[in-house]
Structure 1
């Protein structure tokens, strides 16, 4: 019976992000519904106007954006003595804006933080373009298979056997029972907001980490 080798190959590549999608919420609250709704709707119009003047799908700085519908609700909060307080009305709406120019993203967010009281930046999602991501995934998968071949051949060489040939290749964890899947890591990022001066204006520092693309394969080989 031929000697069989089952190995896991992996490879990772890191690329700076090419797009940053700002996740924004506009929210306001008060004792009456209409003023709260009008405030959020007015802030939304201002945000939409600021995005439209930057929107150019081909060249940016904004390549895509979307808004949700304004959401309203009400609640009766309780104070620390267990007494129910008057009704409080809320209104909020989410906005997503994708930038290819990160300097303009920083400027846009900083301007709206100062201009819109209800503006909140929930985070920034960093990404590659679709074409570049697919190209990078193909490269990483190829390198992962090559890594599996190298590992199998090293085992065979250590045993004094000949060249190996593949008999099965699969995504990690799918080759057979008893082989546990291993998850790949993801690129992280963070956005820090720090007070610039006592006047309350805000300075944004965008510090995206490189995006990690990882592939893992399981492969089975036998000696030729």
Structure 2
């Protein structure tokens, strides 16, 4: 009589990121809308002008960038005595800038943190290129399948049952429930944060990216 083994295979790989996307905001506030809006627009123009000579989609150091429209609103804050204060006007715009050169990324961010009015760094998204991401996903999925086969064979060897053969392989959770995967996606990307303290030479260190895969498999011996 055949013996059936249902196992889960897992594999993780860590790689140094190849792209860093700066998430930044330019925002100011004040008692009147016009000067606040004007200052934000001027700061955005300065940032855009610094991007233009570096923007080369194929060669970098900036491979892509985008900006939203300037958003404005107003509110009347309250002080700690419960008194409503005069109207405060706000203007803000968000932008994303993708770098292939991380030294240039740190230099560019440091320049604007120090010299561009209202500029603030929200974070950096570290990533692989689309091509490398797809290649690595295939590698970790294949390694997860091999891990499942090794687990099943270890069980069979413990029972002196000889070689096993696969009869079903699926994303994690699908063999048991039949409704869909329940594990982490095959690729999980970590987000980096700004570092470097008070130095005008801002150093942003990329975090390694973890790509993982989990599969369910059924073998018989």
Query: Could you tell me the TM-score, scaled by structure 1's length?
Result: 0.93
1:22-171 counterparts in 2 under 5 A? 22-171=22-171
**Greater strand fraction, Structure 1 or Structure 2:** 1
Measured after TM superposition, the shift of residue 176 of structure 1 is 1.4
Structure 1, unpaired ranges of 5+: 197-201
Which deviations, in whole Å up to 9, do the C-alpha atoms of 1:72-116 show, x marking residues without a partner?
A: 000000011111000000000001000000000111011111111
- 2:193 is the counterpart of 1:190: yes
For residue 177 of structure 1, report the CA deviation from its aligned partner: 3.2
1:69–1:180 Cα change, 3 Å = closer
Structure 2, unaligned stretches of length 5 or more?
Answer: none
Q: RMSD of the alignment, in Å?
A: 1.7
- Equivalenced residue count is 218
Distance 2:213 2:93 in 1: 37
Large movers: runs of 4+ above 6 Å: none
**TM-score (normalised: structure 2):** 0.94
1:199 corresponds in structure 2 to: none
Give the Cα–Cα distance (whole angstroms) in 2 for the partners of residues 28 and 174 of structure 1: 50
Cα shift readout 1:134-156 (whole Å, capped 9, x = no counterpart):
00100111111011011100100
- Kindly indicate whether the alpha-carbon contact (under 8 Å) linking 2:171 and 2:181 is maintained by their aligned counterparts in 1: no
For 2:181 and 2:60, the matched residues in 1 are separated by 44
Q: State the distance in 2 between where 1:111 and 1:183 align.
A: 38
Instruction: Please state whether the residue corresponding to 1:176 is helix, strand or coil.
Output: helix
Q: Cα offset for 1:120?
A: 0.3
- Residue in structure 1 matched with residue 220 of structure 2 by the alignment: 222
CA distance in 2, matches of 1:218, 1:32: 61
Q: Which one is further off, 106-115 or 171-180?
A: 171-180
